[in-house]
Amino acid sequence: MKNIFLTSSLQTVAKNLAKNFDPKVKKFLFITTASEIEKGDKSWLQKDRDSMVDLGYDLKDFTLTNKNQKQVEESLTKVDGIIMAGGNTFYLLWKIQQSGSATLIKKFVENGGVYIGSSAGSMVAGPDINITREKKELDPVPEIKDFKGLGITDLMIQPHWGSEYFKESYLDEIMKHSYQTGFKQILLTDSQYVIDLGDEKYQIIDIK
């Protein structure tokens, strides 16, 4: 079963993306950790959540902050999938490391659990997030030293490509660090998502 879906903006593609799910998939953990240190309007987070609820899915809000492995594992047994929401990718990875949940999430996906990433949630699914670094993203997380991602996919997603809001970040910093070989990088617009098909195969869906 196709079970790894990497989006730039879940709210934009949710309806099309959900067509890929097994009908038995009903319940998701909506992991909001990456958004915890984001400032200002967070309507984008609520819209991502609402896009799935409106389709009839049961979402339980969840954070990895201050959780241990036992708590994460117990929560994963109660759902069919994970929605890893957006925000600060480095903060998210740090909390994954602190909770010891990387191996649990990887096992969950290997056993058929659905993984949906939105923005930072898609980035952290890959092998390494260091190539996406920005000073403003790293400054709030000085403790993080290991940039190894979840590794549930070998793809490195660069979300929000073409968005005017992120244009300065791409041109000033991100592309300087990511302009290198060794990683499979996909520049993903907000109207696209990627399905990891396994065996180093993937499909990019553009809903426009």
CATH number at residue 138: 3.40.50.880
**What is the count of structural domains for the chain?**
1
Q: What is the per-residue pLDDT for 75? A: 97
Query: In the prediction, which pLDDT does 170 show?
Result: 65
The reported pLDDT for the residue numbered 80 is 98
* Intervals of the chain under pLDDT 50: none
Per-residue pLDDT tens over the stretch 88-130: 999 999 999 999 999 999 999 999 999 999 999 999 999 988 8
Residue 21: what pLDDT?
A: 94
| Distance set, CA 98 to CA 18, 63, 65, 152, 207 (Å) | 31, 12, 8, 18, 37
How far is residue 122 CA from its own chain's centroid? 3
Residue 139 confidence (pLDDT): 82
Residue 181 is predicted with a pLDDT of 66
pTM: 0.92
What was the pLDDT predicted at 9?
95
pLDDT of residue 46: 97
- Which residues are CB-neighbours of 13 under 8 A, at least 6 positions away? 7, 191, 192, 193, 205, 207
The confidence score (pLDDT) of residue 93 equals 96
What is the domain range of residue 53?
A: 4-206
The pLDDT, as a whole number, for residue 18 is: 96
What is the predicted pLDDT for the residue at 165?
67
Q: Which residues have C-beta within 8 Å of that of residue 126, sequence separation ≥ 6?
A: 149, 150, 151, 153, 154, 155, 156, 157, 183
Structure tokens at 89: 């990718």
Give the pLDDT score at 185.
Answer: 87
Question: What is d(CA 54, CA 51) in angstroms, rounded to the nearest whole number?
Answer: 5
pLDDT computed for residue 60 by the predictor: 98
